[in-house]
């Protein structure tokens, strides 16, 4: 089923609106974690092979105790201003070929804690971290985990995560 005639980053589309809402939060109140196994700029080094083939954005607002988790497959996305934390909504042109999925979940503190329990196993390669994520360590000796997420609407979903080794 085709939901829209434009791609995910089109102005007014769900991904752009979600990122715009993250950008609207005062940077003193947001915890932001952006990771991708392929850096968004060519000047950045390529991720070492011991890190996961994983891509995502986690944003959590301290004031509202809510946030969003975006898991995707878009190489080199997104670019983030290191000085302001502003996330650019433009997708790289390679996304038309290599971008296969986009999954977004609203989260509360409980779901955030579930994310923080499995992320060390995944060993994501973060290139921007603020707030509580600044000292977040992604080191785990486990081989895999199965995490059940209890979504805000009461539904549950399962996430299987394995160590990249």
- pLDDT number for residue 135: 82
Classify residue 1: in a domain, yes or no: no
Classify residue 135: in a domain, yes or no: yes
d(CA 3, CA 101): 14
Classify residue 2: in a domain, yes or no: no
Classify residue 4: in a domain, yes or no: no
Provide the pLDDT confidence category of residue 2 given band limits of 50, 70 and 90.
Answer: very low
| Contact between residue 75 and residue 99 where contact means Cβ atoms under 8 Å apart | yes
pTM for the model: 0.85
Place of tokens 């060390």: 120
Model confidence at 113: pLDDT above 50: yes
d(CA 127, CA 44): 10
Q: Rounded to a whole number, what is the distance in angstroms from the first to the last CA of the chain? A: 36
Give me the domain span that covers residue 50.
Answer: 14-162
Classify residue 5: in a domain, yes or no: no
Instruction: Tell me the pLDDT tens digit for each residue of 65-110.
Output: 999 999 999 988 999 999 999 999 988 888 878 888 889 989 999 8
**Closest listed residue to residue 34, CA positions, set 59, 52, 63:** 59
Classify residue 90: in a domain, yes or no: yes
Q: What total number of domains does the chain contain?
A: 1
Model confidence at 158: pLDDT above 50: yes
Instruction: Tell me the pLDDT tens digit for each residue of 11-67.
Output: 678 899 999 999 999 999 999 999 998 888 755 555 555 677 889 999 999 999 999
């Amino acid at each position: 089923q085709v939901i829209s005639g434009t791609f995910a980053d089109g102005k007014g589309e769900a991904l752009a609106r979600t990122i715009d809402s993250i950008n609207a939060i005062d940077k003193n109140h947001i915890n932001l974690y952006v990771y991708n196994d392929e850096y968004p700029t060519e000047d950045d080094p390529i991720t070492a092979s011991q890190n996961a083939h994983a891509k995502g954005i986690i944003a959590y607002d301290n004031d509202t105790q809510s946030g969003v988790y975006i898991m995707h497959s878009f190489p080199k996305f997104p670019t983030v201003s290191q000085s302001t934390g502003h996330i650019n909504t433009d997708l790289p042109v390679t996304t038309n070929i290599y971008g296969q999925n986009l999954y977004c979940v609203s989260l509360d503190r409980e779901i955030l804690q579930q994310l923080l329990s499995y992320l060390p196993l995944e060993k994501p390669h973060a290139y921007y971290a603020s707030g509580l994520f600044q000292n977040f360590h992604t080191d785990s000796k486990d081989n895999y985990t199965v995490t059940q997420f209890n979504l805000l609407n009461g539904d549950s979903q399962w996430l299987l995560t394995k160590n990249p080794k």
